[in-house]
Structure 1
Amino acid sequence: MKREPALPAAALLHTLFVIMSKESLHQKVLRIKNMVCPRCIMVVREELERLGLHVLEVELGSAVIDGNEELNEAAVEGAMNSKGFELLHDKREELVESIKVAVINVIYTEKIATLTTNLSTYLAEELGRDYSTISTAFKASEGITLNRYIILQKVERVKELLTYDELALNAVATKLGYKSLQHLSSQFKEVTGTTCMKYKKQGGTDRHTIDNLH
């Protein structure tokens, strides 16, 4: 049975969101940072519904509520702060979070294995921005290149799959869009300092939360 990625303890900490209105659609959209797994979606929905809000949709990176309801922003902010969340006002941070969500989504849903374009083109199309704008904003905010962030996320996913021990290494390589097993192995060793097989034998002890890779 396929396992969902476990919710990192830090995934719900230091989470930021911004409230935006779509008056023509009678909706209010909450842009949410650090939603990295299905359980995050569940937790966000529960928090909003606990405040009596009619939640129309929640997905990684955002939640949509009924715009006809009066929104008590102070109450929402208080509830979010109790979980370590903060209101987000910086548009660049909102863009960077959208980039992270897109990267995590394409890797953890394994869509990366079936892309018909390269990943940079996919991200540009997904976010509606040219790749130069995306990568520049990401580097300025996070201190590492977007390409490096993608590599770190892929290696972390490899670690997870090795820990589950359900797939052969060549199947892992295919699942994550590596051109070859050698490509996966060399990238894994460059990031972790060890080989895939040694890591697997050690029981996968060196894991990082996917919302805090840099």
Structure 2
Amino acid sequence: MIPFQKVNIGEIRLMLAPSTNEKEQLNEKLNALGFEIIDNKTGGLIEKIKNLVIKRARNEVDEKAIRVNLSTYLSENVHHEYTYLSSLFSFVEGRTIENYFIEQRIEKAKELLIYDQMTLSQIACELNYCGVSHLSKQFKNITGLTPTFFKGMAIAHRFAMDKI
């Protein structure tokens, strides 16, 4: 028997790393039941990449991290070559790290547009776009809407607190 800490649907957290023999036995028993062991290192690495990309896209990093390009930022923080990270991410996620980064920036832009406290120029500056036109183009590519139209839709669907 292999000692474990926690069992969730699709996941088991072991107390110690199993020996090669224990791992083989566990794998055989799981295969007989139609299950397989998935290496969690890959999943953990993908999650780390996603978290770093989200922080960077939302400008929740220090000034030094903003100045370096995304590939350098990820390589330095994950301690792997960017080509490896990029290939792995694309294989697992079915999209590139760059596309994921753009999607996260647009999500932040949508959030800021809904809050209606910043101009589009301020949002572009906040998210490190080179200008409003660049932000607008990426926004339309991702959402199918212009930022102005999106903002108008968001405001039209807001309710006053006393009306809820």
Say yes or no: does 1:73 pair with 2:5.
Answer: yes
Amino acid across the alignment from 2:79: G
Structure 1 runs, 4 residues or longer, greater than 6 Å off: none
Q: Distance in 1 between matches of 2:39 and 2:150?
A: 41
Q: Tell which has more relative contact order, 1 or 2 (C-alpha 8 A, sep 6+).
A: 1
Q: Is 1:134 the equivalent of 2:70?
A: no
Alpha-carbon distance between aligned partners in 1 of 2:147 and 2:99, rounded to the nearest angstrom: 19
- Pair 1:107-2:66 in alignment: no
- Are residues 136 and 199 of structure 1, via their aligned partners in 2, closer, same or farther at CA, if it must alter by over 3 Å? same
Give yes or no for contact 2:140–2:146 (8 Å, CA) kept in 1.
Answer: yes
Matches within 5 A, 1:162-173: 162-173=113-124
Deviations 1:10-30 (A, max 9, x none): xxxxxxxxxxxxxxxxxxxxx
Q: Is the 8 A contact 2:59 2:126 kept in 1?
A: no
Give the direction of change, closer, same or farther, for the CA distance of 1:107–1:204 in structure 2 (3 Å limit).
farther
Q: Deviations over 1:48-90 (max 9, x none)?
A: xxxxxxxxxxxxxxxxxxxxxxx9613xx34xx5xxx845742
Q: C-alpha distance in 1, partners of 2:50/2:62?
A: 14
Q: Is it true that 1:97 corresponds to 2:55 in the alignment?
A: no
CA distance in structure 2 between the aligned counterparts of 1:143 and 1:170, rounded to whole angstroms = 32
Residue equivalent to 2:146:
195
More helix by share: 2
5 Å-filtered alignment, 1:107-186, equals 107-111=57-61, 115-186=66-137
Secondary structure of the equivalent of 1:202?
helix
What is the CA distance between 1:112 and its match in structure 2?
Answer: 7.9
Is 2:57–2:105's contact at 8 Å kept on the other side of the alignment? yes
Larger Rg: 2
Task: Find the aligned partners of 2:107 and 2:11 in 1 and give their Cα distance.
Answer: 27
Normalised to the residue count of structure 1, the TM-score between the two structures is 0.54
Query: How much is the aligned-residue C-alpha RMSD, in angstroms?
Result: 2.4
Q: CA deviation at 1:109?
A: 4.2
TM-score normalised over the length of structure 2: 0.69
Q: Alpha carbons of 1:189 and 1:112: their partners in 2 closer, same or farther (altered >3 Å)?
A: farther
Structure with a larger share of its residues in strand: 1
Identity score, percent: 36
Q: Within 1, Cα distance between the matches of 2:88 and 2:96?
A: 10
Equivalent-residue separation in structure 2 for 1:173 and 1:120 (angstroms): 21
Q: Do 1:159 and 1:204's aligned partners in 2 also have CA atoms closer than 8 Å?
A: no
Q: CA deviation at 1:111?
A: 3.0
Asked whether the 8 Å contact 1:173–1:184 carries over to 2, the reply is yes
Deviation at 1:119, TM superposition (A): 1.5
Q: 1:112 to 1:142 in 2, by over 3 A?
A: farther
Name stretches of at least 5 consecutive residues in structure 1 with no aligned partner: 1-70, 206-214
Unaligned runs of 5+ in 2: 13-37, 157-164
